[in-house]
Structure 1
Amino acid sequence: MADTSAIQEHMEVIGADGVHVGTVDKVEGERIKLTKKDSGAQVEGAEGSHSGHHHYISLGLVAEVEGDKVRLSANADVAVSFEEEESEG
């Protein structure tokens, strides 16, 4: 398993295919909170409305942390389908 303690704010999150998934806002428990403005909304193949609220990626999807990038073990379109949305209200 990757050393997820190295994940820092503003790191880029990319899929195994090298496609941008989002930008780290912070780590909360066992998941990465992505910034609202950049949380996978433009990933090709993503479905639903992904803008205007935070999304989360499970730390279990992290393959490695290298430099200023968090690389996932899944391709971007698959990782986005696993995202959890912030509960409304």
Structure 2
Amino acid sequence: MQDIREHMEVIGADGAHVGTVDRVEGNRIKLTRKDSGEGSHKGHHHFIDKGLVADIEGGKVRLSAVGAVAVTMEEEK
């Protein structure tokens, strides 16, 4: 999965927008702050484990989980 690059859209298995790649740190994808959600999550970076990546297609990172589930698996830092 070395093809993951900055500014790629991250989508769930259902095609739902999950976030935008800020960068890859080890085994995690760091999402940009603008995709950090609302409330207590707003303004924080979120991470998605690279193990959730199913494929890279059309310049997008597709996850093996649907968007709503993938968002609950994000790790805050």
TM-score bracket, normalised by the shorter chain, equals over 0.9
The Cα RMSD (Å) is 1.4
Deviations 1:1-29 (A, max 9, x none): xxx10000000000001100000000000
The corresponding residue for 1:45 is: none
Aligned partner (choices 58, 71, 77) of residue 68 of structure 2: 77
Choose from 9, 18, 21 the match for 1:21: 18
Say which of 48, 53, 56 aligns to 1:62: 53
Larger Rg: 1
Task: Give the TM-score, by structure 1 length.
Answer: 0.81
- Structure 1 gap segments, 5+ residues each: 43-47
Structure 2's unaligned 5+ residue stretches are none
Deviations 1:38-77 (A, max 9, x none): 23x27xxxxx733101000000000001121000000011
**Structure 1 runs of 4+ with >2 Å offset:** none
Percent identity for Structure 1 against Structure 2: 70
Between Structure 1 and Structure 2, which shows a larger proportion of strand residues?
Answer: 2
Alpha-carbon distance between aligned partners in 1 of 2:68 and 2:41, rounded to the nearest angstrom: 13
- Opposite residue 21 of structure 1, the aligned amino acid is V
